[in-house]
Amino acid sequence: MKKVITYGTFDLLTPGHIALLKYAKSLGDYLIVGVSTDEFNAIKHKHSYLNYEERKIIMEAIKYVDEVIPEENWEQKVHDIETNNIDTLVMGSDWEGSDKFKYLEDYCKVVFFQRVSDFSSTNFRNFIASHKDDDSK
């Protein structure tokens, strides 16, 4: 069984996230997703609308995802790769060249997925702001 792993916050999913998960699963038989905990998001200086448990529920419902584990720190990846016998780690291309992933090539294949153009967070915020009174009518 070829096992693949990826990591991320996965808040407010877009087709870009799904494209990554679909691609990651296509590289093996079993996909593990390390979903960033709320505490690790704080370390990443990233805010998510949904908390860890909510994001975990959503990720577990995606057909490409076989298992969700908590991503609690930057350092756990070697342990995750070794204890889960991971063949391939997949990340979006925005991580290519990052020193947070280069060293992992000593432990498994590391593949970067060319990101699909994502929805713009700015456009999303503008949409919400311009429709904030819709429900009150």
Catalytic residue numbers read: 44, 46
Contact criterion met (CB below 8 Å) for 65 and 7: no
**What's the half-sphere exposure (Cβ side, CA atoms, 13 Å) at 28?**
21
Member of 47, 94, 105, 126 binding ligand C2G (CB under 6 A): 94
The total of other beta-carbon atoms located within 10 Å of residue 89's CB is 25
33, 10 Cβ separation under 8 angstroms: yes
Q: Which listed residue (81, 86, 92, 104) binds ligand C2G by CB under 6 A?
A: 92
> Is residue 36 involved in binding ligand C2G (CB under 6 A)?
yes
Binding footprint of ligand C2G on the chain (CB under 6 A) = 7-10, 14, 16-17, 20, 36, 46, 71, 91-92, 94-95, 113, 115-116, 118
